Amino acid sequence: MPEYIEKPPVAISVVSIRAQNNGEEMAVTVVMENGAILTEQYCSLKPAKGPITEAQFEAIESASRLCGALRSGQSALSYGSASVLHLTRKIMRRGYTKEEAEAAAERLRDAGLVNEDDDLAREVEKCLRKLWGARRIRSHLWSKGFAKETLEALPSLLAEVDFAANCAALIRSRCGSVPTDPQARQKLFAALARYGYSPDQIREGMKYVQKNKS
């Protein structure tokens, strides 16, 4: 995969217009400034000096747009991993169409720059360090745009996690112990639920904290 470097927007300028075939056709010569195309695109398009047809013009412009989308995608990945869907959204925010962004994101995935399985495992680890429950973790991963097929690995990644113990650790970090006041206890219960814990996990976590007072 070639290294892409951010460049100014592509500009295509007309440098000459002349009549041919007794004025029945017009030959237009253009120059592409700040543009770039991939080697494979160059070999496919076989651009040559001189006038080009409208179809050739559109093909070169499309190739240059894809190359720009690839550069934007690789730049986005330099700041952190992303799913194909999330990367597509990031590229679109930089002014590319959905089709251009999808094509670029898929190419970057095929080049090995996007590995959703590894990214999923790393993202789950981040969530667990924040002491999130399973429900909140799953919701977060959906928001990150992981594919449904990738998320099928989530149950196995969470299988060995003791969420009741994590819930107990969260209780200690928030308030040190379980409140005795019913209203305060209810508020804590609601807060833990927002962290993604089930009612059973919350009750077990509270019992664990009460049993192991220090």
Q: Convert the pLDDT of each residue in 121-165 to its tens digit.
A: 989 999 999 999 999 999 999 888 888 888 999 999 999 999 999
Is 1.10.10.10 the CATH number for 11-110? Answer: yes
Of the candidate ranges 34-43, 72-81, 92-101, the one whose mean pLDDT is the lowest: 34-43
Higher pLDDT, 64 or 200: 200
Grade residue 207 by pLDDT with cuts at 50, 70 and 90: very high
Q: How far apart are CA 28 and CA 16, in angstroms?
A: 6
Q: How far apart are CA 161 and CA 196, in angstroms?
A: 14
Helix (H) or strand (E) holding 28: strand 25-33
Mean pLDDT confidence for 23-45: 55
- The candidate with the shortest Cα–Cα distance to 156, out of 134, 173, 140, 172, is 134
Query: Which listed CATH number (1.10.10, 1.10.3470, 3.40.1000, 2.60.40) goes with 163-211?
Result: 1.10.10
- The candidate with the shortest Cα–Cα distance to 139, out of 130, 131, 151, 149, is 151
Grade residue 24 by pLDDT with cuts at 50, 70 and 90: low
